């Protein structure tokens, strides 16, 4: 249902370095690249992510309670995405690990939480074997 998510930035080159690294781990690159807007993903793939200078010319701000979740394919990828975020100016919001109790199928929500250099909150997650 979701085509893409856009996050505001006050420093597009800095955001580009951060999201280029995240996108590379996910096996995608830039699909749109303009002076004030960059989007990562594939035209025929799943939901993409974009960083943009706000259209109204005002400062970008972080939405309280807003978070973008990036679906990983393994616990190892959750850790890699978290580590990539930390290495590219991100900040910790919760190290990778299980959250909650396993469900009736023995799966547990496994996630690592971080913020991009502008303060936007993201996580890398998957439903993993407990």
Per CATH, is 4-53+66-129 categorized as 3.10.180.10?
yes
Distant-in-sequence, close-in-space partners of 80: CB < 8 Å, separation ≥ 6:
25
In the chain, pLDDT over 70 holds for what percent of residues? 100
Half-sphere exposure of 71 (CA within 13 A, CB side): 4
CA-CA-CA-CA dihedral for 91, 5, 3, 56, to nearest 10? -160
Q: Where are the domains of the chain?
A: 4-53+66-129
Average pLDDT of the chain to the nearest whole number = 96
**40 pLDDT higher than 90:** yes
Q: How much is the pTM? A: 0.93
């Amino acid at each position: 249902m979701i085509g893409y998510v856009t996050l505001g930035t006050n420093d597009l080159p800095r955001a580009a370095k951060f999201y280029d690294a995240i996108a590379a781990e996910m096996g995608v690159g830039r699909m749109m690249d303009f002076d004030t807007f960059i989007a990562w993903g594939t035209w025929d793939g799943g939901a993409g992510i974009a960083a943009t200078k706000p259209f109204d010319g005002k400062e970008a701000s972080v939405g309280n309670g807003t978070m973008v979740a990036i679906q990983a394919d393994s616990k190892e990828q959750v850790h890699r995405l978290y580590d990539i975020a930390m290495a590219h100016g991100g900040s910790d919001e919760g190290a990778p690990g299980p959250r909650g109790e396993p469900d009736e199928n023995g799966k547990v929500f496994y996630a690592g939480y971080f913020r991009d250099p502008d303060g936007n909150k993201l996580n890398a997650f998957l439903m993993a074997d407990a």
